């Protein structure tokens, strides 16, 4: 059995939308390098920002 990891030992990133830190999750193991937001709410906010900036204001 592999040794257990403490939550404090996991990699951490900062959310690009809310600027809060978030820790690695097992379900993100394959896509960890591409993850930018901490939650569904922040992901939707990032989409809204991209759409608004792309409208040629």
* pLDDT above 60 for 42: yes
Quote the tokens at residue 48: 């809204």
Q: Which range marks the domain in which residue 32 is found?
A: 7-53
Looking at the structure of the chain, the number of domains it has is: 1
Q: Report the distance separating Cα 54 and Cα 14, nearest Å.
A: 24
pLDDT at 57: 52
Confidence of residue 37 (pLDDT cuts 50, 70, 90): very high
Mean pLDDT to the nearest integer, 40-47: 96
Q: Is residue 40 part of a domain?
A: yes
On whether residue 37 sits in a domain, the answer given is yes
Residue 13's pLDDT band (cuts 50, 70, 90)? very high
On whether residue 29 sits in a domain, the answer given is yes
Q: Is residue 2 part of a domain?
A: no
Question: Is residue 23, in this structure, part of any structural domain at all?
Answer: yes
Asked whether residue 49 is domain-assigned, the answer is: yes
Question: Nearest Cα to 15, choosing from 34, 50, 39, 49?
Answer: 39
């Amino acid at each position: 059995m592999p040794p257990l990891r403490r939550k404090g030992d996991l990699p951490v990133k900062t959310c690009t939308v809310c600027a809060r830190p978030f820790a690695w999750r097992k379900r993100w193991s394959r896509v960890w390098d591409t993850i930018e937001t901490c939650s569904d709410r922040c992901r939707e906010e990032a989409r809204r920002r991209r759409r608004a900036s792309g409208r040629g204001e």
